Structures are given as structure tokens and as C-alpha cells.
């Protein structure tokens, strides 16, 4: 299992502490229910993606499903369904009706993300930042004017700041997406089926919703 720091789905707080977050909790329960064992391996995200493509038992957690990635991985189980949107500071007067309105603005997003792929595909000029914290910091301080990100990530970053956080608002929904446990296309069929069934069971019995609520509500 390879992860990227992507709060609230995967939260890393130092090399000496195991990751936690929505996706990590869901995976732990899916592993327990399916009887599958796994271990976390720490690699840079882009290298981890290449590693999973080359091996037979590796998985990425979490990964956004997109047309560009569709045939590259086995989409074992859904973690979250949400939108990718452009957020601005709550006090901003910007009104975004489409990507054309982004011309001349500083738009930021996470390095190596599907959101970066989308912006590139739609010929939007943007800057990639190493972490979501960096992106929120630039937006809240006025260095950036728009932040392209999954809605739950934006909500979590504001909640994490508490009363001192700068409020933001969703200015333009770009696309609906699914965040997945994505694995090697060579993963054994029985393992993929067990993990996929366990993750679906967690959604169906309400466990997923309860875990999400703890982080976002």
C-alpha cells in the first residue's frame, strides 16, 4: 500500500507515526473483514504510481479515477464520491462561470494530482504545490486566487484551522469524481474481489458515512 498525504483521506504526522484518515480507516476495516493482509510502503507519489504499474500486488491509496488513468490500474474499491471544484476566499469578489474566467489568475493545486491533469487538459495556467496545506495557505493569504481541489479536502483544511481559519467558498464545480483504492492490473483476482466486496459492505452498512462524518462534521 502506497499513500500520499492528502487530508482528510490520508493524514501523515511525522515519519515515526503511522498514517490515519478516512481512507486509512476504511482500508483497515476492509482488510479485517476480507482477511487480506497489507503493509504500508513510503515512496514519493509519482514513483509509487510507477511502482504499482510494474508490480503485481501494489495499491495506491487514495487515487482519483480519471479517463487518463482508467486503463492503468485496477479500481478495486470506492473510497469517496465528491466533486473537484475551484475554491476562492469567502470574501473574494471573483465570480467564476467557466475556465475562461481563470485567465490571469494564480490557480494552485496539488503536485501530481488528477486535478493538475484536468487543468492541463483544459489549458488553464496553474501552479503545483507539494501539499494541500501549502495550497490552502496561499489561498488564505491572498497569494493564490483560486484553489482546485476535492470538496472534502477543502472542508477539512478549513475545519483544521479552527476559529483562526480563513473561510473559503466553492466558486465553480469542475467535475464529479470518485476516489478509489487503485491497484495493479496484475493483482490476483481473489484478493481484488475480497477487498472490493469489503469496501462495498462498508458503504452499504453506513460505516463509511460515519467515518467521513468524524472528519468533516
Q: Give the residue extent of every domain in the chain.
A: 2-80+178-216, 82-176
Instruction: Report the candidate in 85, 87, 81 with the shortest Cα–Cα distance to residue 212.
Output: 81
The kind and range of the H/E element at 87 are strand 74-89
Task: Please give the CATH topology (third level) of the domain spanning 2-80+178-216.
Answer: D-Maltodextrin-Binding Protein; domain 2 (3.40.190)
- Condensed to tens digits (0 to 9), the pLDDT of residues 183-213 reads 999 999 999 999 999 999 999 999 999 999 9
pTM, full prediction:
0.86
The kind and range of the H/E element at 107 are strand 107-110
Residue pair 173/83 in contact (Cβ under 8 Å)? The answer is yes
- In the chain, the percentage of residues whose pLDDT exceeds 90 is 78
Task: Please give the CATH topology (third level) of the domain spanning 82-176.
Answer: D-Maltodextrin-Binding Protein; domain 2 (3.40.190)
Q: Grid coordinates representing 99?
A: 475556465
Residue pair 5/11 in contact (Cβ under 8 Å)? The answer is yes
Amino acid at each position: 500500500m502506497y499513500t500520499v498525504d492528502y487530508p482528510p483521506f490520508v493524514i501523515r504526522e511525522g515519519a515515526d507515526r503511522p498514517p490515519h484518515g478516512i481512507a486509512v480507516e476504511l482500508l483497515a476495516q476492509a482488510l479485517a473483514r476480507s482477511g487480506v493482509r497489507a503493509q504500508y510502503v513510503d515512496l514519493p507519489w509519482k514513483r509509487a504510481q510507477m511502482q504499482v504499474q510494474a508490480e503485481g500486488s501494489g495499491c495506491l491509496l487514495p487515487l482519483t479515477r480519471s479517463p487518463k488513468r482508467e486503463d492503468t490500474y485496477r479500481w478495486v474499491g470506492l473510497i469517496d464520491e465528491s466533486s473537484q471544484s475551484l475554491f476562492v476566499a469567502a470574501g473574494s469578489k471573483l465570480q467564476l462561470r467557466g475556465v475562461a474566467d481563470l485567465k490571469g489568475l494564480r490557480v494552485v493545486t496539488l503536485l501530481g494530482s488528477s486535478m493538475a491533469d484536468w487543468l492541463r487538459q483544459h489549458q488553464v495556467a496553474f501552479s503545483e504545490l507539494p501539499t494541500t496545506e501549502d495550497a490552502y495557505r496561499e489561498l488564505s493569504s491572498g497569494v493564490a486566487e483560486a484553489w482546485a481541489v476535492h470538496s472534502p479536502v477543502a472542508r477539512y483544511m478549513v475545519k483544521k484551522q479552527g476559529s483562526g481559519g480563513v473561510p473559503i467558498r466553492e466558486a465553480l464545480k469542475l467535475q464529479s469524481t470518485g476516489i478509489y483504492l487503485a491497484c495493479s492490473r496484475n493483482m490476483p483476482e481473489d484478493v481484488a474481489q475480497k477487498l472490493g466486496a469489503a469496501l462495498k459492505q462498508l458503504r452499504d452498512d453506513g460505516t463509511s458515512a460515519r467515518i467521513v462524518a468524524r472528519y468533516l462534521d
